[in-house]
Amino acid sequence: MPSVHSIASSAATPVNADPKAPVVVDTNAMPWAPTVAAGVSCKVLERIIDPRKGRETALVKFEAGSALPAEDLETRMDIVVLDGAYQDELGAYAKYTFVREMPGVRRTLSSRDGCLLYIKRRMPIRASERGSARSVVVIERDKWVAVGQRFGMATHLYRDIHGLETARLGEMLPGKQVPAHDHAVGEESLILYGCLKDEHRDYTQGFWFRFPHGYEHAPYTLPDTPCGMLIREGDLIW
């Protein structure tokens, strides 16, 4: 897997590579690692090196006026803008925009004023992904919809037609608790603001966690504080 060869300087090193192990990372405590591009640094949260099922997840920071080299994508690449804005050949993307790029395209990422990105790359799950249409979702807060007891409001970034993969950005209301569950298709979350708690620990802003199938917990929020999260489910099924 080419991983983020244009980002991480240690692209051959696995990181949190056991899909059966729960992983909790306080990204605030991680140092920013330099990359091949001046002004671009990263924090690699996971890297699984496999020709069919490999993937990499990273936080990537662009200083003002920085850019990555042009890249011919061999992996699927999902980007969520966490702060600032970035540009490519097709446009500009502001905070809380989701962009999915498919294998087979050439992209050059840059930022005029600086930005922070969540980037997940993975090998195509199906051969039909290569050459598929890209997706851009602008996450407008006033258009969020209610999604039951887990959140007050949320926006779905995608829902896989085969029923395995979903992702959403949303906010869990204050003083809510989700019944105990065991993540039948696995879950990955990044805490954007607020605090989520469960019987195992607290997860505050900047915490990233990945729970495999069978990991049980019953998360809840503080009485007066909502919790914003980026949640992905299903692509832990290998």
Count CA within 13 A, CB hemisphere, residue 150. 15
The answer to whether 189 and 205 are in contact (CB under 8 A) is: no
Which of residues 14 and 52 earns the better pLDDT score?
14
Taking only the tens place, the pLDDT of each residue in 137-196 is 998 877 777 766 556 778 888 877 666 788 889 888 899 888 888 777 788 999 999 999
- How much is the pTM? 0.90
Cα gap 202→1, rounded to integer Å: 34
Secondary-structure percent of the chain, ordered helix, strand, coil, rounded to 5: 5, 45, 50
Give whichever of 81-85, 134-138, 168-172 has the largest mean pLDDT. Answer: 81-85
95 HSE (CA, 13 A, CB side): 8
pLDDT at 233 over 90: no
